[in-house]
Homo-oligomer: A and B are copies of this chain.
Amino acid sequence: MALKVYLSGEIHTDWREQIIDGAQALEVSFSAPVTDHDASDDCGVAILGSEENKYWHDHKGAMVNAIRTRKGISDADVVVVRFGDKYKQWNAAFDAGYAAALGKSVVVLSPPEHQHALKEVHAAALAVAEEPRQVVEILRYVLTGTLPG
């Protein structure tokens, strides 16, 4: 068994690297959104032409990014959705809903203080972790049956 894992959500800390590093010995292939914030915001206008209106500037970019996001989620067995400390992070919750509707196994990675606000998202998840290390442990257990410690 090999797993395809999509890493959705927060792009300002190194949680993706921690998971990918931790899972190096496992049969996992990872995908993720573009995590370069500026490129992600501007990809639409940089490629397809500028927009005066900020709404359409954002829209064009979000549409181009959706090509990657949809592919990543559609192909994944497991979608890990990370909620961080800052920002609205509605795209993370959107991805969780999208993944849940496709029947993907959803793992949420979120701090305890968001527990109540995330209860509907947690209710669609098969695991709720607080640390990237725990996501690695889940992947290792799912693939090899080995528990930590």
Interface residues of A, Cβ cutoff 8 Å to B: 1, 3, 31, 34-36, 39-40, 42-44, 46-48, 51-56, 58-72, 77-78, 83, 87-103, 105, 107, 114-124, 126-129, 134, 137-138, 141-143, 145-149
Collect the chain B residues with CB atoms within 8 Å of residue A78's CB.
67
CB atoms of B103 and A100 under 8 A apart: no
CA of A44 to CA of B98, assembled, Å: 25
Would you give 22 A-B contacts (Cβ < 8 Å), ordered by A?
A35-B145, A40-B145, A44-B127, A47-B141, A53-B53, A59-B122, A62-B123, A66-B123, A66-B124, A67-B107, A71-B77, A87-B117, A88-B114, A90-B92, A90-B121, A91-B120, A93-B94, A97-B100, A97-B101, A98-B100, A101-B101, A103-B103
CB atoms of B66 and A147 under 8 A apart: no
CB atoms of A147 and B47 under 8 A apart: yes
* Given A90-B90, A103-B103, 19 other A-B residues pairs in contact with their CB atoms under 8 A: A47-B127, A47-B129, A47-B137, A48-B127, A53-B56, A59-B119, A59-B122, A66-B123, A67-B107, A88-B117, A90-B92, A90-B118, A90-B121, A91-B120, A91-B121, A92-B93, A94-B121, A99-B101, A100-B101
